C-alpha cells in the first residue's frame, strides 16, 4: 500500500536518543479500518514509535503522514488540530486528569474543540462498563477502570486511528478478553483503524497483522 493511501504512515523515520539509534529508517502504513498489533522486546522503541506516529514527538529524519498530509509541513497549531481530530491515544499510564471525573476525562477531546457529542461518550462509557463510575475521580478508580476511561477518551472524537500502548496491561485475563472485544467492537462500528502495542500472545489472532520492532526496524507477520 502506498503511504499516501493510509490513514497513518511513517516514511523512513529515524529517531536517535544521544548516541543510541532507536528507530532506523522505519516505514509503516496503516490502512483505514485495519488492525495492527505491534510487538517487540522491552526497550526496542515501541512507545517511541507511538509518540512519533501520534504526533507527540517529531522524528530526527523521515516523515509522518496523517490521511496523506505530511505532519512536518504543518504549523504546531495545525498539527495539534490534526492530532485531536484524527488520532486517539491510549497511554500506557492512562494520563487521566486527576481533578476531572471519569466522564469529564472522556469528554476532554470534545471540550478541546472537537465536535460535541456527549451522547457518544456516554455510550462509550456504557459499552466499556464504566458508566456507573462516570462521576468518580481517577484516584478512586481501579487500574482497569482507569484504562477503560482512557479508551473511551481515545474514541471520543471518532478518530481515524487509535494508538493503544498496552491497553490491557493492567487487566486480568478475563477482563483483557472483554476489553479487547469491546475495543474491537468499537473499531468495527466506527471503522477506526487500531494499532496496539501488546506483549500478550493471546491477542495476535484478533489482529490481521502483527509487526515486530527489533533493532530499529519492523518486520511483518501476517496472521490473517
Chain residues that interact with ligand ATP, rule: CB under 6 A: 17, 22, 40, 42-48
Q: Which is nearer to ligand ATP, 87 or 134 (CB)?
A: 87
Q: Which is nearer to ligand ATP, 52 or 124 (CB)?
A: 52
What cell numbers appear for 18 in the block? 544521544
Q: How far is the CB of 22 from ligand ATP (least distance, A)?
A: 5
Q: How far is the CB of 49 from ligand ATP (least distance, A)?
A: 7
Q: How far is the CB of 38 from ligand ATP (least distance, A)?
A: 9
Q: How far is the CB of 88 from ligand ATP (least distance, A)?
A: 19
Q: Which is nearer to ligand ATP, 48 or 180 (CB)?
A: 48
**Nearest-angstrom CA–CA distance, 88 and 140:** 24
Q: Which is nearer to ligand ATP, 93 or 185 (CB)?
A: 93
**Nearest-angstrom CA–CA distance, 214 and 180:** 25
List CB contacts of 184: < 8 A, sequence separation 6 or more: 35, 194, 206
7 torsion bin: left (phi>0), alpha (psi -120 to 50), beta (else): alpha
Q: How far is the CB of 133 from ligand ATP (least distance, A)?
A: 27
- 94-124 in b/e form (b: 16+ CB < 10 A) is bebeeeebbbbbbbbbbeeebeeeeebbbeb
Pairing of strands 193-197, 35-39: parallel
Q: Which is nearer to ligand ATP, 128 or 213 (CB)?
A: 213
Q: Which is nearer to ligand ATP, 17 or 78 (CB)?
A: 17
Q: How far is the CB of 200 from ligand ATP (least distance, A)?
A: 12
What cell numbers appear for 130 in the block? 464504566
**Nearest-angstrom CA–CA distance, 125 and 111:** 17
Q: How many residues does the chain have?
A: 224
Amino acid at each position: 500500500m502506498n503511504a499516501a493511501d493510509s490513514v497513518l504512515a511513517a516514511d523512513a523515520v529515524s529517531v536517535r536518543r544521544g548516541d543510541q539509534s532507536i528507530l532506523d529508517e522505519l516505514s509503516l502504513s496503516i490502512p483505514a479500518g485495519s488492525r495492527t498489533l505491534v510487538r517487540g522486546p522491552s526497550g526496542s522503541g515501541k512507545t517511541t514509535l507511538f509518540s512519533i506516529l501520534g504526533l507527540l514527538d517529531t522524528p530526527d529524519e523521515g516523515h509522518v503522514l496523517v490521511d496523506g498530509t505530511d505532519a512536518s509541513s504543518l504549523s504546531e497549531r495545525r498539527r495539534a488540530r490534526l492530532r485531536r481530530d484524527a488520532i486517539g491515544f491510549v497511554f500506557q499510564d492512562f494520563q487521566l486528569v486527576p481533578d476531572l471525573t471519569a466522564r469529564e476525562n472522556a469528554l476532554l477531546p470534545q471540550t478541546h474543540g472537537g465536535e460535541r457529542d456527549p451522547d457518544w461518550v456516554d455510550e462509550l462509557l456504557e459499552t466499556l462498563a464504566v458508566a456507573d463510575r462516570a462521576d468518580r475521580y481517577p484516584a478512586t478508580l481501579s487500574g482497569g477502570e482507569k484504562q477503560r476511561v482512557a479508551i473511551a477518551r481515545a474514541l471520543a472524537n471518532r478518530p481515524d486511528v487509535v494508538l493503544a500502548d498496552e491497553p490491557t496491561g493492567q487487566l486480568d485475563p478475563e477482563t483483557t478478553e472483554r476489553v479487547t472485544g469491546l475495543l474491537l467492537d468499537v473499531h468495527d462500528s466506527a471503522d477506526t483503524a487500531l494499532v496496539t502495542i501488546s506483549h500478550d500472545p493471546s491477542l495476535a489472532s484478533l489482529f490481521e497483522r502483527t509487526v515486530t520492532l527489533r533493532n530499529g526496524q519492523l518486520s511483518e507477520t501476517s496472521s490473517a
